[in-house]
């Protein structure tokens, strides 16, 4: 955590609340962003769940293969990329720059795999005539909530991959500190966390038997 | 963590592998639950419950909050959870009522 510049701040931990959370300001800032983003996603998920429960003829268009199989593999990708991210952070704190970059690249690969599978899933739905504004099931809101939620999440994953790329590049060149890697890790785990809600609520609640 | 032991990042690879394994296992249980015919509200409750457990595992271990100061957790999460719970409390009884009102 402390890379010299934060160390001076942390020394005051018992002397009048200079750093009451014993974290650097970047880390605290990322945590605050995560709180605000979790409320954004809560609002989207709650709006979706409200409509899902209130609409008796809500469509259940996701077959086991490909939709649920794809979504389960995507969950596996994200969870595994969180594990590689943890390894990246641990290596960054030990000062293994090369290993950190490799683990970050592995994490990015997980994210890219997720986005590629998700786009295939989207195009599969477009092919069936399901769009954000219309679908063949007679409940147009289905597309609005589905593409709104998954699109917002996919945007987060895409930004996350770019963010990790910048961090990997900068940390490899020894321009960024291990705290920067840890803070990018917080963001990445949060994107994983949000998927833990979208996967069951959007996919598993609408499987075709 | 004091300033002098900061480079020892708490938690071992073994611990993180365990958490990862549990998250995968809970995901498998969720997929299974989707395919046994359950009442909509019961299924929603079970899936949400399992998701909350998974989120807690991610926050505590992957996001390292369990190894941070308690004050950081107390500042961030209780009020957020309260906010979300309040919205849930106001919304869901109403969505169930709407379901009864619809002439389908």
pLDDT tens digits along A156-185: 999 999 999 999 999 999 999 999 999 999
Contacts of A178 in chain B (CB under 8 A): 7
Which residues make Cβ contacts (< 8 Å) with residue A153, sequence separation at least 6?
A41, A191, A194, A195, A198
Question: Helices marked H in chain B — which ranges?
Answer: 13-35, 40-57, 70-101
Q: What is the pLDDT of residues A40-81, one digit of tens each?
A: 999 999 999 999 888 888 999 999 988 999 999 999 999 999
Nearest to A24 by CA among A190, A135, A208, A177: A177
pLDDT of the residue at A17: 61
Phi and psi, residue A40, nearest 5°: -60, -50
Residue range A140-148: mean pLDDT, rounded: 94
pLDDT by 10-residue block (mean), chain B, 104 residues = 48 92 97 91 91 97 92 93 91 80 64
Give the closest of A50, A75, A76 to B91, CB-based: A50
User: Distance from B86 to chain A by nearest Cα, in Å?
Assistant: 11
What letter would DSSP give residue A137? T
Residue A12 lies in a domain: no
Closest Cα of chain B to A78: distance in Å?
Answer: 11
Q: What pLDDT sits at residue B3?
A: 39
Name the pTM for this structure: 0.90
Q: What is the pLDDT of residue A10?
A: 54
pLDDT at position A93 is: 94
Over range A86-93, report the average pLDDT. Answer: 95
CB A135 within 8 A of CB A129: yes
- Segment A111-119 shows an average pLDDT of 97
- Which residue has 């998974």 as its token pair? B54
Do residue B51 and residue B92 come from a single domain? no
- Residues B73 and B37 grouped into a single domain: no
C-alpha dist (Å) from residue A173 to A93, A164, A177, B103: 16, 14, 10, 64
Bridge partners, residue A207, by sequence: A62
Query: How many structural domains compose chain B?
Result: 2
Number of domains into which chain A is organized: 1
For residue A83, the domain's CATH number is 1.20.120.80
Separation between Cα atoms, residue A71 and residue A77, nearest integer Å: 10
Q: Which of B3, B32, B75 to mutate to test the interface with A (most CBs of A within 10 A)?
A: B3
CA A186, A102, A178, A173 dihedral sign is: negative
Select the more confidently predicted residue: A97 or A14: A97
CB nearest A56 (choices: B20, B71, B102): B102
Identify the domain containing residue B35 by its residue range.
Answer: 1-68
Q: What's the pLDDT band for A1 if we cut at 50, 70, 90?
A: very low
Listed range (A13-17, A92-96, B79-83) with the worst mean pLDDT:
A13-17
pLDDT for res B1 = 38
ipTM of the complex: 0.88
B4 and B41 fall within a common domain: yes
Please indicate, yes or no, whether residues B62 and B73 belong to a single structural domain of this protein: no
Q: How many contacts (CB atoms, under 8 Å) link A and B?
A: 163
SS3 state of residue A176: coil
B61 and B23: one domain? Answer: yes
In contact, A37 and B82? CB cutoff 8 Å = no
- Top pLDDT among A141 and B101 is at A141
CA angle A131-A136-A139, nearest 5°? Answer: 80
**pLDDT of A5 above 90:** no
Nearest CA-CA partner of A135 in A45, A49, A48, A59:
A59
């Amino acid at each position: 955590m402390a890379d010299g510049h934060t160390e001076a701040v942390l020394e005051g931990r018992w002397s009048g609340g200079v750093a009451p959370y014993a974290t650097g300001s970047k880390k605290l800032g990322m945590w605050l962003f995560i709180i605000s983003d979790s409320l954004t996603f809560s609002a989207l998920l709650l709006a979706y769940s409200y409509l899902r429960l209130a609409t008796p003829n809500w469509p259940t268009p996701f077959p086991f293969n490909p939709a649920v199989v794809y979504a389960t593999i995507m969950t596996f990708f994200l969870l595994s990329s969180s594990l590689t991210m943890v390894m990246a952070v641990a290596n960054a704190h030990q000062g293994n720059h090369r290993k950190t970059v490799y683990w970050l690249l592995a994490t990015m690969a997980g994210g890219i795999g997720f986005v590629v599978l998700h786009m295939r899933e989207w195009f599969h739905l477009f092919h069936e005539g399901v769009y954000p504004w219309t679908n063949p099931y007679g409940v147009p809101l289905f597309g609005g909530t589905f593409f709104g939620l998954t699109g917002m999440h996919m945007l987060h994953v895409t930004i996350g991959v770019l963010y990790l790329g910048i961090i990997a590049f900068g940390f490899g060149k020894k321009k960024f500190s291990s705290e920067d890697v840890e803070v990018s890790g917080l963001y990445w785990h949060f994107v994983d966390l949000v998927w833990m809600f979208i996967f069951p609520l959007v996919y598993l609640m609408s499987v075709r038997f | 963590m004091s300033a002098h032991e900061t480079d020892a990042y708490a938690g071992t690879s073994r611990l993180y592998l365990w958490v990862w394994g549990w998250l995968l296992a809970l995901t498998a249980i969720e997929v299974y639950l989707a395919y046994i015919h359950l009442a909509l509200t019961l299924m929603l409750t079970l899936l949400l419950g399992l998701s909350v457990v998974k989120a807690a595992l991610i926050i505590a271990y992957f996001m390292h909050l369990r190894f941070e100061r308690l004050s950081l957790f107390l500042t961030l999460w209780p009020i957020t959870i309260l906010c979300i719970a309040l919205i849930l409390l106001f919304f869901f009884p109403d969505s169930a009522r709407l379901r009864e009102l619809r002439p389908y």
